[in-house]
Structure 1
Amino acid sequence: MTEIFSRKTTVFFVIAIFFITAFLQINGSGIATKSDVDIKTAANVAQAKISQLGKGDFSISGKTAFYEGEKPLFYVFHLRPRGYVVTSADLALPPVIAYSFQSNFSEEQNVLMDILKADISLRLKNIDNLPDHVIESRKLMWKSVLNPKNENAASINFEQWPSEGTTSTGGWLETTWNQDSPYNNFCPLDNGKRSVAGCPAVAMAQILNYHKTTNGISFNDSDDYYHNYIHQYVIDDDHEKYDFPSFPELNGYLATLSSHYENNTLLTDNDKAAIVFACGVAAKQVYGSEVSGTFGVNQAYQAYLRFGIDNIELLNESNPDLYGRLRMNMVDALPAHLAVVTSDWNSGHNVVVDGYNTDDYYHLNFGWGGSLDGWYLLPDDMPYGLTVIEGIIVDILKENSGSDIYCGGNLHWADVEAGSTIYANFTVENAGEANSTLDWEIAEYPEWGTWTFIPSHGSNLSSGDKDYVTVSVLVPDKKIRNFRGYVTVVNKGNSDDFFILPVSLATPKAAPVIPPILQKIMQFFPVLWKIMQT
């Protein structure tokens, strides 16, 4: 009897060692080097996202895998009746990178595909540089998808700006302009073909059109510039040879456009062509029938200044306030101008950011006729210098009136002991006009845990001054949970002026993600399965 038991024990431990070894090869130190996600698992992730967003009338109709060498980078799941979900193919990345229920994903080379390839490649190369709270949060995201019966994510009140269904596009922009006719009708000829409009000009033009203004722009000889790309000529001196409007002609078109804005008149093709070409001229774009554009985001920034829009700011990825400023521009219905680059910085794109939701996705308008437009998880968790973001122009045509609330700091915790008390700090600032004062208060915070803010309100905060807030949280007594939410700080004098601080908390380090195939095999070994689940 003892010998039989010994044999069973030996067999058990041989099996255990085999599976634990295999498991460690897959999972390594939590999330491992061998952490590729197969397309079947990714499909489960895509379906979970569809369900989470309440899109029961959408279903997966097809799938495509994109590779870098032999390694899968990401998967695209095409939806019926329309739309797409893009999932990552590695457990070390967020499960869902982008999605849309209004636009389709083209199989041909496109802007979104370029951004995805560059973005995901950079994220994978720099996983070791991520802070602990990001790694823990991602592990729990995957765990909740791969083990749907294990509730390890605390729900939050989902909010979105603009609210779903309030606009035709899903973002603040109601336009889906493109680079071809009629938008390029005034662009220079290139060997007899009309040049494309250029993504910087289209992005800027859509933002100005959203605000229904040309801001009184008028071009003159001081705006002449030498065009040194494919063909060499001077804009506007060579307008006859290359068939584009002279500055006096363009000014006339812009005056008509301004009148149409003032009288809410439906825009003509000439109106659209005029504002697009005007933005291109202000940015000193170069033109070609295959590609038009600029050589850096600073040219777009200078174009806004040339339009007399001087309350803007160009933020690069090293600015710690970048995502806070961008987030609140979206809440304030202020589309922003985003420039992204490939991983080797040899090309780039300009797009409009025109929406945000509390899952930290931003709505992007790519300027390709509505094709591809959707929600994207920008790389706000990546270290400086390691993302595809070249720069973002914020506060475009923002109206300053009195006080303006802004908060600095973050509320992210990782590997926190369940039931413990944790602390953090953030600032509340009056970023408004000179001589304004701000009265503020904490208006909303997560329902999980016990929260204390010292102080919880403030008054008579002068422009440029800050209050320092200490936060304490009694953490829920729940192990291996991913708690998320946000704190809302509001201007008591203007309820439409508020700031959102995202919150994330993991308790404690998540158990390694167990792939579905290993889960099924291990169910035949319940004792070992129980050990690996703890």
Structure 2
Amino acid sequence: MRKSFLFISLAAVMAAPVASARSLSPSEALDRATAEAVMPVSRSGGSPELIMTLGSDEAPAIYVFNRSGKGYMILSADDVAAPVIGYSDNGRLDPDNLPENLRFWLELNKEQILRASAEGHAPYSRAAIPDHEPIGPLMTTMWNQEGPYNDLCPMIGSARTVTGCVATAMAEVMKYHNWPDKAAEDAMISYQWHNGTSVVTLSEDFSNYEFQWDLMIDDYRDSHTKEQANAVAKLMQACGYSVSMSYGTSASGSFGAKVGGALVNYFKYDAGLHNEPREMYSSAAWDNMIYENLKTCGPVLWWGSGSVGHCFVCDGYRGDGFYHFNWGWGGLSDGYYLLDALNPGSTGVGGGTGGFNNGQGVLLGVKPAGNDSPAKRRYTFYASQGITETFVSGSLLSMFGTFSNLSPYMVNATFKFRIFAEVNGEEKYLTSCTASIPSAGTEFYPPYYESMIECNIPESLEDGTYHIYPAVEFDGEEHVFASAPGYPDYVIYTREGGVNKAELHQTASLEVENLCANVNNLIYNGKRFRVTGTAKFVGGVGDTERYIGVRLLSPSGEIIAYSTELNIKFSDEGCDFDFVSAGFNIAPGEYTLALQLGFETIAACPVTITNDIPEGEYQITAVEVVSAVDPQNLKFNITVKGISGLIDEYMTVKISRSITPLNTDRRVPVFVTGGQTAVISYTVSLPSYMVLPGQQHIVRAERQSGTSTVGKTASAYFILGDTSGIDGIEADTEVPAEYFNLQGMPVSGENLAPGIYIRRQGPEVTKILVK
């Protein structure tokens, strides 16, 4: 049977970093947000109130604050992500009454942040995605799902069902356009609905119905007339019926991917509208596509999936990457949110870490049909992750994958294999053959998918090499299933002497060089271990991310144990990776450690599993001040040397001013094996009340056992800068000036090399730029 393509991939096992970003306290998160200056986060006039933490006490991901007065802010609790994830100048958030769409968005960002932190992503730095001019918010409606919006929704017993988020989002977009003037001539809608006890037919004739746009008001929470209520209820009913809403008294569901077809078929919208899956685009391309639609067409209908489906509207842009979202919850929580909480510039195809953008999609190009509207509809047939496997049995060729209809329309389709000959390195179309699917049906609805397509390749095909693409045929045209860059999009099929073979076409290959476990491929039984190497996207352009399984193979090549699933970035130039993977519990002996994509091994190395675990010993050998200019972004590198055994623990990093300790003690993870030297990056934000620019400070790293310091410590001195901005080299010379580099070390003020320095002149400390 066909399955619903409405899911989001959440991997269960996290990989711990060697040198990672770190968790932040609520106070640090507030100071970091203030320093970012994306939004007014002033601490004056009352402190923001922490109302919600997503994650755990040990690994917080997101803090939600209500601001004093009005408004709220959603901040990252880990410096792997942007300081501010979302905010509003108005309203308050109630953690017990959050819109489901916002709750979904927060959960998505939480999982993204936790995975990125666990996988060792570097601390966030703003990426070079071009900013845009502000737009909107375009919509003024603050509609909801209950009365009066659901006054014409069906009943279950004595209870009225709710409109559903898809219908509410769709209705608000239609209200923005105040279109159609009247519904299509043949807008008779009828479908089967299960009300919990029986199947009933819901039907309504909307043919030529004139929607009363002038009677619909933005906010129905206050007084409104019966006519105003009926006008919006009729629109909501039309929207719900048009997408075959599955009505319920607490929640009603449909698929956002169906909205476009309903707008064209029943409500006279432009046939050029189209659905786009998030995972097909880089973050920069996605950002530009969303902004251009806001600029040229209007609001963007957006959907995603978690435990349930969600649908909402993006209708504005303020700047610095923050887009305005209307959650369809009576205005509650409408505000500005980042499209991606992580570094947009650090992501490849899929635009984010951990695949959390999978399952998201948008409807673009929504506008009233006009004389210049295209006569031809746009279709999207998509194979998520390409063709994942292929098998040959005699003349029968099978392809496996997620072959989806992401078009706005249902099609009566026949599945096909399009066959091309390979002639002198070029493709020449030969023929198509009709394929079969498990469901054996022809009605291919959005957003459903098939998981297998198979076909008997004609015996008349001569010996040779062929390229075979999965496709669908309808209305006399064949459409090939598209794949994201880097995924297999066709099968290379060879026939020779009655023997048929098939392999996946790789537009680029994934390779790992210098794969190593720990330092010497020695893994201690039951203990975590380091996995290092260089990931190359050979033949590809740019970079791509893949989930790679860490597995243990027997001497015969069989998988006998599983470890972590790593989200590894591969690039054409090669990306070094360094993860800590979950350990194995297995009999000691000689094995093969393999990195596998699916069940294909892309790299392997011999390893020894041992129960002989010597006592771990290490030294902290050095602390380097990387940057001390910005008190909210102090950066240090701490070098540790493994003496023996395995060290998987925490060290303590402290900052003091003269002999006065500051309340900044932090536990920083250390993972190192005997004979290895590791450099651990550490970033800390000083709360504003601790900042004294121009004063000398000391940072100290200590190995501790209980409350006692063990072994030698390492430390470094630095002069704390401020955030007063970059000045020119010209300055008042009445008081002798002292100069320091970005590490806080004194330098001569004569003949300074080009760069940025800290200047202390009397009580004033500033940054200067020498050109």
Distance (whole Å) between structure 1 residues aligned to residue 367 and residue 150 of structure 2? 25
SS in 2 for 1:181: coil
Partners of 2:243 and 2:110 in 1: CA distance: 30
For residues 286-315 of structure 1, give each alpha carbon's deviation from its aligned partner in whole angstroms, at most 9, with x where no partner exists: 111111121x33222332233332221100
CA displacement 1:448-505 (0-9 Å, x = unmatched): xxxxxxxxxxxxxxxxxxxxxxxxxxxxxxx9999xxxxxxxxxxxxxxxxxxxxxxx
- Once the two structures are overlaid, the 10-residue window that deviates more, 171-180 or 353-362, is 353-362
CA deviation vs aligned residue, 1:203-248 (integer Å, no higher than 9, x gap): 00000001011353258686211112524343435xxxxxxxx43x
Per the alignment, residue 81 of structure 1 pairs with: 69
Match of 1:194 in 2: 160
Is 2:230 the counterpart of 1:270? yes
Indicate the larger mover: 73-82 or 319-328: 319-328
Aligned pair partner of 2:352 in 382, 388, 402: 382
Q: Distance in 2 between matches of 1:161 and 1:59?
A: 31
On the 8 A contact 1:58/1:79 being kept in 2, the answer is no
Q: 1:328 to 1:120 in 2, by over 3 A?
A: same
Which residue does the alignment assign to 1:114? Answer: 104
Q: What aligned pairs does 1:428-507 form with structure 2 within 5 A after superposition?
A: none
Partner of 1:175: 141
Relative distance call for 1:216 and 1:326 in structure 2 (3 A) is: same
Aligned equivalents of 1:219 and 1:73: distance in 2?
52
List aligned pairs for 1:52-451, cutoff 5 A.
52-54=38-40, 60-70=47-57, 71-110=59-98, 111=100, 112-126=102-116, 138-140=123-125, 159-162=133-136, 171-214=137-180, 216-218=182-184, 223-237=189-203, 246-247=204-205, 254-257=209-212, 268-294=228-254, 296-306=255-265, 307-309=267-269, 310-320=271-281, 321-332=285-296, 334-342=298-306, 346-379=307-340, 381-382=351-352, 385-387=355-357, 389-397=359-367
Do the aligned partners of residues 298 and 525 (structure 1) sit closer, same or farther apart at CA in structure 2, a change above 3 Å counting?
Answer: closer
CA contact (8 A) 2:165 2:252 kept: yes
Larger radius of gyration: 2
| Cα distance in 1, alignment partners of residues 147 and 302 from structure 2 | 23
Deviation digits for residues 159-197 of structure 1 (CA, Å, limit 9, x no counterpart): 4212xxxxxxxx110110011111111101122111111
Decide whether the 8 Å contact of 2:46 with 2:68 is kept in 1.
Answer: yes
Q: Mark the CA change 1:276 to 1:255 in structure 2 (over 3 Å): closer, same or farther.
A: same
Alignment CA distance shift 1:47-1:127 (3 Å): closer
Whole-Å separation in 2 of the counterparts to 1:530 and 1:210: 56
Q: 1:530 maps to which residue?
A: 718
How much has 1:524 moved relative to structure 2? 4.6
Q: Is the 8 A contact 2:303 2:360 kept in 1?
A: yes
Cα pair distance change 1:315/1:128, threshold 3 Å: farther
Q: Give the superposition deviation at 1:59.
A: 5.6
Q: Percent identity?
A: 22
Cα distance in 2 for partners of 1:525, 1:370 equals 47
Q: Deviations over 1:10-48 (max 9, x none)?
A: xxxxxxxxxxxxxxxxx976534xx11111111223444
> What is aligned with 1:433?
none
Asked if structure 2 preserves the Cα contact closer than 8 Å seen for 1:317 and 1:384, the reply is: no
**Aligned-pair Cα RMSD in Å:** 4.2
TM-score normalised to structure 1 length: 0.59
SS in structure 2 at match of 1:513: strand
CA-CA distance at 1:318 after TM superposition: 2.3
Work out whether residues 45 and 87 of structure 1, in 8 Å CA contact, stay in contact via their aligned partners in 2.
no
- Name structure 1 gaps, 5 residues minimum: 1-26, 142-152, 163-170, 238-245, 403-423, 426-478, 483-509
The more displaced of 79-88 and 379-388 is: 379-388
Deviation per CA, 1:334-354: give whole Å up to 9, x if none. Answer: 101000222xxx312100100
CA contact (8 A) 1:198 1:287 kept: yes
Tell me whether 1:514 sits opposite 2:499 in the alignment. Answer: no
| Paired residues of 1:46 and 1:85 also in contact (CA < 8 A) | no
Q: Give the whole-Å Cα distance in 2 for the aligned partners of 1:330 and 1:400.
A: 19
1:442 corresponds to: none
C-alpha contact 1:139 1:512 (8 A) present in aligned 2: no
Residues in 2 aligned to 1:301 and 1:158: alpha-carbon distance in whole angstroms: 27
Which structure shows the higher strand fraction? Answer: 2
Distance change in 2, residues 1:89/1:77 (3 Å): same
1:63 Cα shift?
1.1
- Partners in 1 of 2:34 and 2:110 — Cα distance? 21
Cα distance in 2 between the residues matched to 1:85 and 1:276: 31
Q: Deviations over 1:333-381 (max 9, x none)?
A: 6101000222xxx312100100123311110000110000001111264
Aligned-partner residue type, residue 20 of structure 2? I
* Structure 2 gaps, min length 5: 1-15, 217-224, 345-350, 373-540, 543-626, 631-679, 701-714, 720-741, 745-771
Q: What is the CA–CA distance in structure 2 between the aligned matches of 1:72 and 1:156, rounded to whole Å?
A: 30
In 2: Cα distance, 1:139 partner to 1:192 partner: 52
Q: Kindly indicate whether the alpha-carbon contact (under 8 Å) linking 1:338 and 1:352 is maintained by their aligned counterparts in 2.
A: yes
SS at structure 2 position matched to 1:318:
helix
Paired residues of 1:78 and 1:105 also in contact (CA < 8 A): yes
